[in-house]
Structure 1
Amino acid sequence: MSEILDIFLVSVRDGFLQVSAFVAVTVLLFSYVQYRTGGRLIAAIEDHERAQPLIGALMGLTPGCGGAIVMMPLYVRGSISFGTVVATLVATAGDSVFVIIALAPEAGLYAYAAALVAGTLFGYAIDRFGLGVGRVDAAVSEVSRATSTAAHRVPTGSGVHHYEEAAVADVEEAADGGEAVSREATGALWHLSNAALWGWWLAAAAGLVIGIAFLARGAPEIALSLGTNFAGAFTVVGLVGTTLSFYLYFVGRHHLGHGAIGEAEDTFENARETLLHAAMETSFVTVWVIAAYLLYEYGIVFTGIDVAAAAAAAGVLAPIGGALIGVIPGCGPQIVLATAYAEGAIPFSALTANAISQDGDALFPLLAIDKTAAIVASIYTTIPALIVGVGLHLLYGPMFGFGVL
């Protein structure tokens, strides 16, 4: 029991200080860029048709899924080509890029550079030669008609993000159940959530300083401690930061919109909204990183399996598996895989295949707008992932731990 508790506390602590504090800075910078560019970026994309696959790949490569999400409604409007959609999704970095930036930046540089090149080339090839897209589209349409089911649709251009969508769903469910939230309770939770937001940013700022000092010391093992020394500060800030991250993700997100539950929007109109978006995005990453840490550590303890040895024994199946995991929409599974790479559990070829194959949250709005196009695009993002991932594995071997700090 002592070992299980220690694993839990260390994972909770390290996840925030080794990943989340650095993620917060990256997301905040990207949010500021979104605010500064405004609508000028969309107009530029529409005006430069020949450059669209390259622009789409660059948009997909931006940290998180925001850049890729922007591109999806443009396809339905007829402003960009299908090749541009595929280029965007191939290069999409998703939220897993934050984990790689924090824990294995050199590996991330090469993996996402490969995704950028593959996305750009494949996008232009689809626009120029077709590559059988029409036949795949027809086949998917036929299957879709045979197995069509009702699905929840997110309105085009709604800007709904992962934490907001869940909040809206929860509110709708509560309304359907006839539940009512009193004004007093809502107000109290808003004040509590607002305090948690600013407390989270204080923890993130302190965590960034401590995290940099930790790396400067050579990333040594830090004992769990509640003293006044470095280990004590490391432990306290890490635990507090993760606790506030979980609160913001599971509770605070329902109350930190524009004064109403579940109505937060990524508008970036002022400093508070920009900070709110960055905190929510980072909290989402934190939850999945902690889950990945615990899954990996407890998996080893309870099963005794050497994950790295199993991945090495899998051989060329490792990058194939990485590519197939990337087919799963959303960022959660990809964060788990990125964390596993940082732990030395999977090879670089699998990480690269996943980086190319994954579509992140960008696939959700496309699924809502044009389900057939989304499925076809997902199929076409898997092809370069398999080619590059398997090619890397055959040329350079598995390369465990490449570029990990």
Structure 2
Amino acid sequence: MGEFVSFAQTGLPNELFDILLGSVRDGFVQVSAFVAVTVLLFSYVQYRTDGRLVERLESEKKYQPLVGALMGLTPGCGGAIVMMPLYVRGSVSFGTVVATLVATAGDSAFVIIALAPEAGLYAYGLAFVSAVVFGYGIDRFGMGVDRIDRAVARVGRTMTDGGVAAPAVGSQVHHYEDAQGCEVDGSVRDAPILRRVSQAALAVWWVAAAGGLAAGVLYLVRGAPDVPMVADASFAGAFTVFGLVGTTLSFYLYFVGRRYVGHGHVGKARDTFGNVYETLTHAAMETSFVTVWVIAAYLLYEYGLILTGVDLQVFAAAAGVLAPIGAAAVGLIPGCGPQILLATAYAEGAIPFSALTANAISQDGDALFPLIAIDKKAAVVASIYTTIPALVVGVGIHLVFGPMFGFGVL
């Protein structure tokens, strides 16, 4: 008991609680509110263009890697996921798949756009150039691509009508991953009370997102000052209330509410834009997913500094050229969670720009899941191909320009 009292008297529990509240509040206002608007924008663009894009891609093969890179570059994984079933249909080349995956920005792009837009411009610009160069290069000189094409073609021929298919032209409901056996939306659970609670939470979440966006814009206009944790009729009070409420509802929607509003596993779920409600629901679910990981990244970084005494920036600086190599290796992990952690670490000054760029090029996001389900060999080869430019560009930036901690961070 004496040891516990001594520990409490240090003030550490209070400090940890303050960090928790601060991370919960700041993560929503500084990142999630901006993510929500961005997701809405790209959801609308995706809905308005993907049908016509499929038609043109099949007839204009010389532009396929370029279009694939552009699709991958859109924040989130929706654009990249669209391209995977097209490959199995034989509509696009394997080089197009690699170009798409190299350029894939994933959900970590939302974090960088919100917290370090200048860094994102350069990192994703380099990823796009790398994607186009490697995409066309693989179609012309790629090793083992013919074997991959033949194997996947056999899979494609054995599929039934319920198998692989590209999004229908002009369709308002896009089942990007239904064909690949990945987890998609299940039916809405039959629980009327929880469904109504979840719908109410969704509505309040958007109020918090709108308020958080206004507070976030004012925060930037005022030069990103320290904001006290208060709950009154002031800028700081609005910043605090919208942040805490928004994050709380994000956790509810991600872990509970998604089961009752028709959007199953966020990140692997279908994108439905048949009406305004579906579009808003999709944006809220995607943003909730990002919020959960951003808060986790904030806490991991802050608690890590306090509990271990290790300064991650010093550690990354000491790692030297191993920093971009390690970030490229993290990009091999499918999904957006680990990549969001790295993006948040960069915004916190913990990793250098070379590591951010290497990870931006190497990561495949959720787009790799459909390819894994269709043909694991193709997925492995594609991942290897995306890692090569990540290592070349990331290590090159590190050797030429140095670590560049904090470059482009607001």
Give the TM-score normalised by structure 1: 0.88
- Taking a change above 3 Å as real, the CA distance of residues 265 and 387 of structure 1, as seen in their structure-2 partners, is closer
Q: Secondary structure at the match of 1:330?
A: coil
Q: Percent identity?
A: 70
Q: Select which of 173, 176, 197 maps to 1:159.
A: 176
Given the alignment of the two structures, is residue 286 of structure 1 paired with residue 291 of structure 2, yes or no? yes
Alignment of 1:249-288 (within 5 A): 249-257=254-262, 265-288=270-293
2:229 alignment partner in structure 1 = 224
Following TM superposition, the consecutive aligned residue runs of length 4 or more in structure 1 with deviations greater than 2 angstroms are 132-138, 154-161, 164-168, 260-265
2:343 to 334, 338, 341: 338
Equivalent residues in 2 for 1:290-309, closer than 5 Å: 290-309=295-314
Which runs of 5 or more residues in structure 1 are unaligned?
142-153, 173-180
User: 1:38 Cα deviation (Å)?
Assistant: 4.7
Preserved CA contact (<8 Å) 2:68 2:96 = yes
What is the CA-CA distance between 1:166 and the residue it aligns to? Answer: 7.3
Q: Aligned residue for 2:317?
A: 312
| Structure 1 residue matching 2:183: 3-state secondary structure | helix
- Equivalent position SS for 1:93: coil
1:96-145 Cα distance to aligned partner (Å, 9 max, x none): 00000000000000000000000000010111112x2359969x99xxxx
- RMSD over aligned CA atoms reads 2.4
- Residue in 2 that maps onto 1:108: 120
1:21-56: CA deviation from partner (whole Å, max 9, x where unpaired): 000000000111122225112112222100100110
**Quick one: distance in 2 between partners of 1:159 and 1:283?**
20
Whether 2:57 is the aligned partner of 1:45: answer: yes
Match of 1:221, SS? coil
In 2, the alpha carbon distance for the partners of 1:264 and 1:402 equals 34
Opposite residue 249 of structure 1, the aligned amino acid is: Y
Contact 1:214 1:220 (8 Å CA) reproduced: yes
Deviations 1:234-273 (A, max 9, x none): 1111000000101110111001019x99997422111111
Residue type matched to 1:5 in 2? F
State yes or no: 1:69 paired with 2:81: yes
Residue 247 (1) aligns with residue 264 (2) = no
Residues 61 and 166 (structure 1), Cα distance of their counterparts in 2 relative to 1, 3 Å cut: same
* Match status 1:96 vs 2:96: no
Change (3 A) 1:348 1:198: same
Matched pairs, number: 375
CA gap of 1:376–1:87, structure 2 versus 1, over 3 A, is same
Give the secondary structure class of the aligned counterpart of 2:61. Answer: coil
Distance 1:261 1:378 in 2: 23
Match of 1:149 in 2: none
What's the CA shift string for 1:338-384, capped at 9, x where partnerless?
00000000000000000000000000011111111011000100000
The code of the aligned residue for 1:209 comes to: A
Matched, 1:364 2:369: yes
| CA separation of 1:396 and 1:55: change in aligned 2, threshold 3 A | same
- Counterpart Cα distance in 2 of 1:84 and 1:133: 15
1:30 to 36, 39, 42: 42
1:386 matched to 2:388: no
Contact 2:324 2:354 in 1 (8 A): yes
CA contact (8 A) 1:167 1:253 kept: no
Counterparts of residues 148-227 of structure 1 (less than 5 Å): 156-157=164-165, 158-160=175-177, 165=183, 168=186, 183=190, 186-227=191-232
Mark the CA change 1:38 to 1:309 in structure 2 (over 3 Å): closer, same or farther: closer
The amino acid across from 2:225 in the alignment is P
Amino acid aligned to 1:396: F
C-alpha distance in 1 between matches for 2:192 and 2:306: 44
For the residues of structure 2 that align with 1:284 and 1:201, how far apart are their CA atoms?
15
CA distance in 2, matches of 1:137, 1:379: 13
Contact 1:24 1:278 in 2 (8 A): yes
| Equivalence for 1:87 | 99
Query: Could you say what secondary structure the match of 1:39 adopts?
Result: helix
Contact 1:327–1:382 (CA under 8 A) maintained in structure 2: yes
